[in-house]
Chain A
Amino acid sequence: MEKLAATSPAGVLLDLSGVLILLLAFACLGSKLFNRYVAYYGAQSVVLAFAAGVAASTFHSIQLWVLAGFTLAIKGIGIPLATRRLLLRRLALGRDAAISAGLSTSLIAGGGLTAFAYLVTRPQLLPHGVVAAAVVPLSTAVILLGALAMVLRRHTVAQLIGWLIVENGVFLGAITLVATFPFIVEAGIFLDIAAGVLIMLVFVSGLTRELAEASAAELRGLRG
């Protein structure tokens, strides 16, 4: 398999997309409004679809084009739209009050995690032959940032977005494997995410009906 050199136009575009995706994860970590979370997640997914498109045109892979289309349709448009319509608007969610650390603390922790991701997965540590090795630390950092958002935010909707950001990070890493994940697996992953979001929307709405506010801070019935 040909390698995506960091100096080739496609390599540069892929790296740039990776950086943008990381920045959008930071933006999400640094905001307090629910519709911003969703907006940043949507933007991140659009950039991800663009990155998949770059890889698709470089490797002339129809399969990757289809995946780029899926990403745009499901993650870039479908999920943000559904979250807005079914959760944010219906439950009138505005400002997220259930954050257990200040925004600046969150961002500093995020910076630390990014540095850690680079330490563990910098390109020199990866075997030769990984396509676009520079993207791997970026994707690892996005995974960690998403997980951090899930830990620091206790509102169920914020946790849902955090999980989706983790998912985007993994997908960014998967692009660098290009031809290796069989199509049926990629399609299955999309199906899982769509079904997962759907079932989580049901739970969040149900919880909101039962409790005053569906914040995990209030989820204290079950302990010990």
Chain B
Amino acid sequence: MAMTYLIRSPISLDALLAEVSAPACGGTCVFLGTVRDGPEEQGVTAIEYSAYEEMVEGELGRIVAEVRERWSGARVAVRHRLGRIPVGEASIAIVTAAPHRAQAFEACRYVIEEVKRRVPVWKKELRADGSEVWVDPSGRPTTRPAHV
């Protein structure tokens, strides 16, 4: 399978913008998710991202198809970066373009929320003190995507 949504190097926003650019699109929306070291994280230096890569490709492909179905004329480009990503660098970039801004914003929000819910990617925080912590955003290991 051709890997199209996953990369292991820094994400080029210019490339994604070029992918969605079209004369009929008057609004373009960019979302970047970046590795954070805030008060909740306590000394995170980087995050190690891993994935069920074949399934990520399938699930992201379905999400992109859903966007095209729900927002007529919308265009989407997505990259999720894997491997060790330092604080401040982007782990995911989503660019949506649509005839009007409302559709572009809505489609962009839809993609990131569905990624958080459905796309099998995991992260391990690497901390300044040498410790490593798997991140469980749910806090409930038995939780599952609502659509299944």
User: Are both chains from one complex?
Assistant: no
Chain A residues near B (Cβ < 8 Å): none
